[in-house]
Amino acid sequence: MLKLNDPALLETRAYVNGHWIENGSSFPVLNPATGEKIADVTDLGVEDVARAIDGAYDAKASWAAKTGKERGAILRKWHDLMLENIDDLAIILTAEMGKPLTEAKGEIMYGASYVEWFAEEAKRIYGDVIPGHQPDKRIVVMKQPVGVVGSITPWNFPNAMIARKVAPALAVGCTFIARPAELTPLSALAMAVLGERAGIPKGVFSVIPSSNASAIGKELCANTKVAKITFTGSTRVGKILMEQGAATVKKVSMELGGNAPFIVFDDADVDAAVEGALIAKYRNAGQTCVCANRIYVQSGVYKEFSKKLAERVSALSVGDGFEDGVAIGPLINEAALSKVEAHLSDAIAKGAEIVTGGCRHARGGTFFEPTVITGVTRGMQVQHEETFGPIAPLFEFETEEEAVELANDTEFGLAGYFYAKDISRVWRVAERLETGMVGINTGLISTEVAPFGGIKQSGQGREGSKYGADDYLELKYMCFGEI
């Protein structure tokens, strides 16, 4: 049993239309570090989801009719409650997802920062006045909420992936149904407990745990009361949802897979690049969609960079996220571990060499040693697929042209990183990288004040920043005649 200051935050019932419900079926939530069961969570079916959609639909007019200031005040309260309960929320998150407790606290702060940001933005949903096209005409553009939003999110950020979506949606007057990943529903339910305490009205925010992702996805896409689907997850599932949503012309926001390049040029500060790579690669045990997946190092600094990175990586401590000083927790499940092993053995078979790590960790379970491999080349799986684990594959390159070409040789385009000092090169490379986000001399780019999102098959739409509200708004133009 988890030791919480407020045990009520460990909620296992679904939250539908302002009610905590059970339906006789449940699914277990396991701790990936120990394999132990944390809780049994209510397993909703399609009929329950349809009810949640009805509730969200009925609630939308009165929620949208509130002033931005009123909605913002509720969101602000929700943000404050998240921070007041950060210790408990982090414990729940580490227990169900495995990341080190300090990272879990970081995630709660990160998630809460979106709620705070959009609490503030709620008052600033401005329209436009356009000079008329005829002498007696006046044109006004207003922005209105899209309506009911259905959300599907992954397990790697059980709090923040939902916060990044629900905050802008509620701020502008949409109502919202969250279907959390089946591996990590407890953080979402804890958010709902606090949302209810913050005064979010009935039906405005529902959390619908279910073990049947595809049935829920189908219902959210098919139901005509849902205006928009917002999804974070794999490109494969994103495409399924876009196809399913086409039948009812759903609006979509898609935050899909990445395959981030991380380039270190000869003129980089190598020590800083090593620090950046550590963060960009090993955060969350390599399980983030903006994790550096391919590390390209120019020949002049290749040896120095690999040696220094390997030294730092071999010192990272692996363990249960609740243990002090742990930097790398378990991988989420056996399938994740198998993918890491497959990418590694493919690279080794094709000539790469292990500098540090390379094996399942002695602790067993789904723990894997943080790994660095050198001599990586284009034909290997790691060039084309997201590994989602703690392996840093180091490619060597000669010219800037070659680095950019290699970096862009992927259908994905979420994040890219590079380290360089020459200002002309910085501009050239930043402009040419085919990604929605570029970290220049930094390995950490996520913040609520900037637009997060990808291009190519990494998705569409942006989360956070002054642009983030637009994903949940429609433009309406009014033409006034006979003036």
State the nearest-atom distance from the C-beta of 111 to ligand ADP, in Å: 16
Count CA within 13 A, CB hemisphere, residue 71: 31
Catalytic (active site) residue 431: no
CB of residue 289 to ligand ADP, shortest distance in Å = 8
- Using the rule CB under 6 A, give the single segment among 29-37, 57-65, 131-139, 150-158 that binds ligand ADP: 150-158
Which of residues 108, 237, 273, 433 is near ligand ADP by CB under 6 A?
A: 237
Query: How far is Cα 81 from Cα 195, in angstroms, rounded to an integer?
Result: 8
234 binds ligand ADP (CB under 6 A): yes
Q: Is 372 in the site for ligand ADP (CB under 6 A)?
A: no
Q: Give the range of 68-76, 148-156, 394-402, 438-446 binding ligand ADP by CB under 6 A.
A: 148-156
Shortest separation between residue 115's beta carbon and ligand ADP, angstroms: 21
Q: Which is nearer to ligand ADP, 339 or 425 (CB)?
A: 339
Q: Could you say which of 103, 107, 182, 255 is catalytic?
A: 255
Instruction: At 375, give phi and psi (nearest 5°).
Output: 70, 30
What mask, x for binding ligand ADP by CB under 6 A, covers residues 197 to 226?
----------------xx--x---------
**Partners of 479 in the β-ladder:** 139
- How many chain residues are in contact with ligand ADP, going by CB under 6 A? 13
Distance CA 181, CA 201 (A): 24
Q: Name which position in 97, 177, 181, 469 contacts ligand ADP (CB under 6 A).
A: 181
Q: How far is the CB of 241 from ligand ADP (least distance, A)?
A: 6
Which residues in 284-430 belong to E strands, given as ranges?
292-298, 353-356, 371-376, 391-397, 412-413, 415-419
d(CA 48, CA 45): 6
Query: Is the CB of 217 or the CB of 436 nearer to ligand ADP?
Result: 217
Nearer to ligand ADP, 45 or 201 (CB): 45
Stretch that binds ligand ADP, among 37-45, 232-240, 296-304, 474-482 (CB under 6 A): 232-240
The one among 100, 195, 203, 233 contacting ligand ADP by CB under 6 A: 233
Which of 53, 264 has the CB closer to ligand ADP? Answer: 53
User: Angle 343-349-354 (CA atoms, 0-180°, nearest 5)?
Assistant: 70
Nearest CB to ligand ADP, comparing residues 305 and 368: 368
Whether 390 and 371 have beta carbons less than 8 Å apart is answered as yes
User: What one-character-per-residue DSSP string does 182-246 give?
Assistant: TT-HHHHHHHHHHHHHHTPPTTTEEE---S-HHHHHHHHHH-TTEEEEEEES-HHHHHHHHHHHH
CB-based burial label for 115 (10 Å; 0-12, 13-18, 19+): buried
Q: What are phi and psi of 32, to 5 degrees?
A: -65, -20
Rg (CA), the chain: 23
Please give the Cα distance from 451 to 464 (Å, whole number): 5
Element (H, E) at 122: none
Phi, then psi, of 167 in degrees rounded to 5: -65, -50
32 binds ligand ADP, rule: CB under 6 A: no
Site string for ligand ADP, 241-260 (x = CB under 6 A): x-------------------
Do β-strands 138-145 and 128-130 pair in parallel, antiparallel, or remain unpaired? antiparallel
Cα separation, 83 vs 225, in Å, equals 34
DSSP letter for 360, please: B
> CA–CA separation, 225 vs 49, rounded Å?
12
Nearer to ligand ADP, 156 or 356 (CB): 156
Among 96, 182, 196, 369, binds ligand ADP (CB under 6 A): 182
Q: Is 240 in the site for ligand ADP (CB under 6 A)?
A: yes
Choose the binding region for ligand ADP from 68-76, 104-112, 165-173, 229-237 (rule: CB under 6 A): 229-237
**Which member of 154, 390, 416, 468 binds ligand ADP (CB under 6 A)?**
154
Q: Are 255 and 232 in contact (CB under 8 A)?
A: yes
CB of 217 to ligand ADP, least distance (A): 3
Site stretch for ligand ADP (CB under 6 A), options 62-70, 170-178, 187-195, 236-244: 236-244
46 binds ligand ADP (CB under 6 A): no
> Which residues does the annotation mark as catalytic?
255
Residues that bind ligand ADP (CB under 6 A): 152-154, 181-182, 213-214, 217, 233-234, 237, 240-241
